[in-house]
Amino acid sequence: MLGEVRQDDLYEVWETLSEHNLARANINTLTDMIVCPGFDFCSLANAKTLNIADAINAEFDNLDYLYDLGDIQLNMSGCINACGHHHVGHIGILGVDKKGEDWYQITLGGSGREDASLGKVLGKSVAADEVPSVLRKILETYVEQRTDEERFLDTVRRVGLEPFKEKVYAAAH
């Protein structure tokens, strides 16, 4: 929190944050994530999260695309304690340990707002290096399925998980 920054110093603070890629105009977009510190900084975690957040930021770095997608809340937790509140993210990611490897369970349709709901598990968990491409497939499905001005969450609620599941796991069938 930067609550004690004087108004006269805001521009200088913004410049410093920009130099370190910490001043992105991504509020309420996919990359405006809630992410717990994961295994890198928490002894309770089963899986790393910060590397996944970095991979998502790298995959989705086009602000025009992110704004076209609209309001999407992505939440990620490194264990079932859910410090990142993955269960109420429009897209939730839960890190799980499978025989010493990090895998990630994806949920869709959660909300922590006044239209509260828990996300539903999309299917089997995916390997760490697959998370960005799985998100890409989920977002492609959303764009194909949405109606004019329909939010991601509303599309998921209207069409259900099946179209997303089909796209994400198509190669596995």
Tally of structural domains, the chain: 1
Beta-bridged to residue 97, according to DSSP, are 102
Which three-class secondary structure state does DSSP give residue 10? helix
The span from the CA of 143 to the CA of 26, in Å, is 19
Work out the mean pLDDT of the chain and round it to a whole number: 94
In a domain, 111, yes or no: yes
The span from the CA of 141 to the CA of 128, in Å, is 21
Which three-class secondary structure state does DSSP give residue 119? coil
In a domain, 5, yes or no: no
In a domain, 48, yes or no: yes
- pLDDT tens digits for 105-152? 999 999 999 999 999 999 999 999 999 999 999 999 999 999 998 999
> Is the pLDDT at 7 greater than 70, yes or no?
yes
Which of the four pLDDT bands, split at 50, 70 and 90, describes residue 21?
confident
In a domain, 8, yes or no: no
CATH number at residue 150: 3.30.413.10
In a domain, 6, yes or no: no
In a domain, 81, yes or no: yes
In a domain, 17, yes or no: no
Residue 131, domain extent: 28-172
- pLDDT tens digits for 49-85? 999 999 999 999 999 999 999 999 999 999 999 999 9
| Residue 1: predicted pLDDT | 63
Per-residue buried b or exposed e for 19-58, using 16+ beta carbons within 10 Å of the residue's own CB:
eeeeeeebeebbbebbbbebbeebeebbbbbbbbbebbbe
